[in-house]
Chains A and B, each alone.
Chain A
Amino acid sequence: MQLTVKLFAFFRDGRFKEEGREYPAGTKVGEIVADLGIDPDEVGVVMINSLQSSLKATVAEGDNLAIFPVIGGG
Chain B
Amino acid sequence: MTEKIFRVNMTDLTTSVEAVPAAWAGHGGRGLTSTIVAAEVEPTCHPLGPKNKLVFAPGLLSGTIAANSGRLSVGGKSPLTGTIKESNAGGTSAQFLARCGCKALIIEGQPKGDVWYSLAVTPQGVTISQEKELIGKGNFAVAETLANRLPGKLGLITIGSAGEMRMASANISVKDPDGGLRSHGRGGLGAVMGSKKVKFISIDPQDGKVEIADTEKFKEANRAFAKALVDHPVSKALGQYGTNVLVNIINESGGLPTKNFTLGQFDGHEKISGETMHDTINLRGGKVKHNCHPGCVIQCSQIYNDASGKKLTSGFEYESIWAMGADCCVDNLDQIAEADRLMDDIGIDTIETSVAMGVAMEAGVLPFGDGAGILRILQEDIAKGTPLGRIIGNGAGSVGRAFGVTRVPVVKNQAIPAYDPRSIKGMGITYATSTQGADHTMGYTIATNILGVGGSVNPLVKEGQVELSRNLQIATAAIDSTGMCLFIAFAALDDATCLPALIDLINARFGIALTGDDVVNLGKYILKTERAFNTAAGFTNVDDRLPEFFYTEPVPPHNVVFDFSGEEIDTFWNF
Chain A contact residues, CB within 8 Å of chain B: 6, 8-10, 12, 17, 42, 44-45, 47, 50-52, 66, 68-74
Most central of A8, A66, A73 by chain B CB within 10 Å: A73
Interface string of B234-260 (1 = CB under 8 A from A): 100110111111101100111000000
Q: Which size bracket describes the interface of B in this complex?
A: 35 or more
Assess whether A72 is in contact with B451, with CB atoms less than 8 Å apart.
yes
Interface of B is mostly: helix
Q: Which of B413-450 contact A (CB under 8 A)?
A: 440-441, 444, 446-447, 450
Assess whether B318 is in contact with A47, with CB atoms less than 8 Å apart.
no
> Which 6 residue pairs of A and B lie closest in terms of their CB atoms, listed nearest first?
A73-B243, A72-B234, A70-B233, A71-B237, A73-B246, A50-B254
Assess whether A68 is in contact with B249, with CB atoms less than 8 Å apart.
yes
CA distance A45 to B242 in the complex (A): 18
Assess whether A45 is in contact with B451, with CB atoms less than 8 Å apart.
yes
Q: Which of B207-256 contact A (CB under 8 A)?
A: 233-234, 237-238, 240-246, 248-249, 252-254
Given A45-B450, A45-B452, is A71 in contact with B253 using a C-beta cutoff of 8 Å?
no
A13 to chain B, nearest CB (A): 10
Whether B58 sits at the interface, judged by CB under 8 Å, is no
Assess whether A70 is in contact with B237, with CB atoms less than 8 Å apart.
yes
Interface string of B248-283 (1 = CB under 8 A from A): 110011100000000000000010001100000000
Given A72-B238, A72-B447, A72-B490, is A8 in contact with B248 using a C-beta cutoff of 8 Å?
yes
Report chain B residues within 8 Å CB of A47.
252-253
Report chain A residues within 8 Å CB of B450.
45, 52
B368 to chain A, nearest CB (A): 23
CA distance A66 to B529 in the complex (A): 43
9 extra A-B contacts, CB within 8 A, seeds A12-B275, A52-B452: A8-B248, A9-B237, A9-B245, A9-B275, A44-B233, A68-B249, A71-B237, A72-B245, A73-B300
CA distance A30 to B456 in the complex (A): 19
Whether B523 sits at the interface, judged by CB under 8 Å, is no
Report chain B residues within 8 Å CB of A71.
233-234, 237-238, 241, 245-246, 249, 451
Provide 19 A-B residue pairs closer than 8 Å at the C-beta atoms, listed in order of the A residue.
A8-B245, A9-B240, A9-B245, A17-B270, A44-B452, A50-B557, A51-B460, A52-B253, A52-B450, A70-B234, A70-B452, A70-B453, A71-B233, A71-B234, A71-B237, A72-B238, A72-B487, A73-B300, A74-B440
Partner of A73, one of B233, B318, B456, B458: B318
Whether B459 sits at the interface, judged by CB under 8 Å, is yes
Report chain A residues within 8 Å CB of B444.
74
CA distance A50 to B453 in the complex (A): 18
Assess whether A8 is in contact with B233, with CB atoms less than 8 Å apart.
no
Partner of B249, one of A42, A45, A51: A45
By beta carbon, the residue of chain B nearest A66 is B252
Q: Which of B495-533 contact A (CB under 8 A)?
A: none
Interface string of B318-333 (1 = CB under 8 A from A): 1000000000000000
CA distance A40 to B458 in the complex (A): 21
B324 to chain A, nearest CB (A): 17
CA distance A44 to B493 in the complex (A): 14
CA distance A41 to B460 in the complex (A): 26
CA distance A9 to B243 in the complex (A): 12
By beta carbon, the residue of chain A nearest B252 is A66
A12 to chain B, nearest CB (A): 7
By beta carbon, the residue of chain A nearest B444 is A74
Assess whether A6 is in contact with B252, with CB atoms less than 8 Å apart.
yes
CA distance A9 to B279 in the complex (A): 11
Given A9-B240, A50-B254, A50-B557, is A73 in contact with B459 using a C-beta cutoff of 8 Å?
no
Whether B132 sits at the interface, judged by CB under 8 Å, is no
A48 to chain B, nearest CB (A): 10
Partner of B458, one of A6, A52, A72: A52
CA distance A10 to B274 in the complex (A): 11
CA distance A42 to B318 in the complex (A): 22
Report chain B residues within 8 Å CB of A68.
249, 252
CA distance A29 to B331 in the complex (A): 32
A4 to chain B, nearest CB (A): 12
A7 to chain B, nearest CB (A): 10
Report chain B residues within 8 Å CB of A73.
238, 242-246, 274, 300, 318
Q: Which of B445-495 contact A (CB under 8 A)?
A: 446-447, 450-453, 456, 458-460, 486-487, 490
Whether B310 sits at the interface, judged by CB under 8 Å, is no
By beta carbon, the residue of chain B nearest A46 is B452
Whether B558 sits at the interface, judged by CB under 8 Å, is yes
Report chain A residues within 8 Å CB of B238.
71-73
CA distance A26 to B233 in the complex (A): 31
